[in-house]
Structure 1
Amino acid sequence: MTTHTSAPATTHTSVPAYAAPSAKAPLERTTVRRREPGEHDVLIEIKYSGICHSDIHTARGEWGDDGHFPLVPGHEIAGVVAAVGSGVTRHRVGDRVGVGCFVDSCRECDNCKAGLQQYCTGKLGNVGTYGATGRDGEVTQGGYSTHVVVDENYILRIPGSIPLDEAAPLLCAGITLYSPLTHWQAGPGKKVAIVGLGGLGHMGVKIAHAMGAEVTVLSQSLRKEADGLRLGADHYYATSDPATFETLADSFDLIVNTVSADLDLDAYLGLLKTGGTLVQVGIPERPQPVSSFALVARRKSLAGSMIGGIPETQEMLDFCGAHGIGAEVELIRAEQINEAYERVLASDVRYRFVIDAATI
């Protein structure tokens, strides 16, 4: 990654957006300032923006109200390059591009140099696509808008084989599952379980299946079983049935937990083979207890994973392009955002809402 930094912008322009004016307030149409593209900046005309559960947590101040309101959420952005700065070499006008969960990082720490910008340990840190303070001192505003300006190094290429609306959720949900599946080597001969078949889980099923793993969905009920099998699962079990944990004991090499609910982690660790790993990508509100004996008795591991760096995210997009993978989406108009938030909370979406930016 090039180590240049975009110069602080001195001029701005306003573009239409949907923002939360304060914590817990309904989102409303407004305008947001975007900096004029600097030498290494790219202006993106946003076509689609996915709705992530993190957007809801942040817009409602559930992860700490830091005063960054009004706030424009959105970190699943797919669009087209509208203009580039004079020094941009990685992208051209007309390119299909995406922006994920962060738009900058320190670029100097060991993690950044290794392409693991999501784990940046530098002073600037991982600069979130919204609600964070960038190197120019401005609070970042996300993808529920018509345009965004981002440094060229933090923009991804979207393969032409993926429709842009289906590509948007890949920038968060897709990479959140691809990263642990790759790191723990899901593939032929591996038995992988995905806990939960929602916005994250359905991507896990698609990707693990494309990697060649034997895939099992562990869901609260069998309500979505037909969907799970259609998306690539080989097996589907209800975790509300106690017999599931007896039938599947010592079965899996890897379990990826996508849900944010409180689970009996010891019970899920019991489903792992010797040396297996349970990876947390969902984040419950409260700490979860784990018995040390559940780990040491069979050399099992409990781990966590968070999105991916720029190189791995590009790798994920290329993988999805090659395998014909996109998110299962429900396209909505911007005025339906608040309704969509309520439906997400009610688990009434299959499997990702995506905003048509042309309606903002």
Structure 2
Amino acid sequence: MYKITIIAGARPNFMKIAPIIHAIQKTQKEGFELDYRLVHTGQHYDKNMSGSFFEQLDIPEPHVNLDCHGGSQAQQTADIMIHFEKELLAHPANLVLVVGDVTSTMACALVAQKLNTKVAHVEGGIRSDDWSMPEEINRLVTDSITNYFFTTSETANINLKQSGVKEDQIFFVGNTMIDTLLKQRPNFTKPKVWNDLNLEKQNYIVMTLHRPANVDEESQLKSMIDEIIAHTRDLPLVFPVHPRTAKILERLKVGHSRLHMLEPLSYLEFNYLVENAKAVITDSGGITEEASIMRVPCLTLRDNTERPETITLGTNELVGTDPENLKPYLDKLFAGQWKKGQDIPLWDGKTAERIVDGLKAISNER
């Protein structure tokens, strides 16, 4: 039996690993000896991650929660490493599979290698080249000690090869987040705010802001929101607010009759809003992927992106963090001149099947 320990540290990680687990379960039914153990490090406490979260999205409950949340980056890394070392010693594996770029990804990869356990990284090779982002450090460290890479794009493949990774270590498979999106799209749920605000298709804008570069400097955040309000005509702005952003906005007393600040929404409710919006204004990498697949115009308030395919092939544009950059992009949107987007290679809902094919090939190397 080939045993795989799968690591998830935050809510998006579960959405990325759910299709992989379903594909493993399918291959088990076909008689292949592949087993998994799902470890939640508990890195991000999320009140929306109740039993209904797992049930709604058909995500298996973790076998264990290490409950490592809180503290500084260093404290959290150390806490995860200490707890995961005990976990892996108690439940040895042939391979540890990490996803994405959270602290858990890096910490568990380090523990696995020090216990002579091979590591595979789903979403390996993506780069923003911005070392001020904690996620970029996590990516660089994880990929420097990874044995096998499951990649989302040709750009990621090139990044890895340029850093010395060999061709036979790379499996170009696509994007598991899109597997989940395509599977759940028929289940998107109209949120209460739809009727409360009398929203209409393509007649409102969805906003999300959470990155420190945009929200930690109060004058920057206020200027950005002022510019958004100034150049979005008469459209409602629907803004599910990250808790840390909410505290700052409260201090700034930011408000406008068209700006509707909400509690964070569930995955199915949020993507219902995105799918039907005129556009999305965000600083989230994951949302740029989902918006591109749903062909919704996306304005990203960042100076760089680790997902360039959402710009070259998708519906995303990199606006930057200067609030004055927004107007020409919004003018283009309202003039009906936004790019339509096109298919992104292997973002087709079958990524997890290709990952499991890769895992079967890796297991045969023993």
TM over 0.5: no
Higher share of residues assigned helix: 2
> Which structure shows the higher strand fraction?
1
By relative contact order (CA 8 Å, sep 6+), the higher-ranking structure is 1
Q: Give TM-score scaled by structure 1 length.
A: 0.33
TM-score, length basis structure 2:
0.32
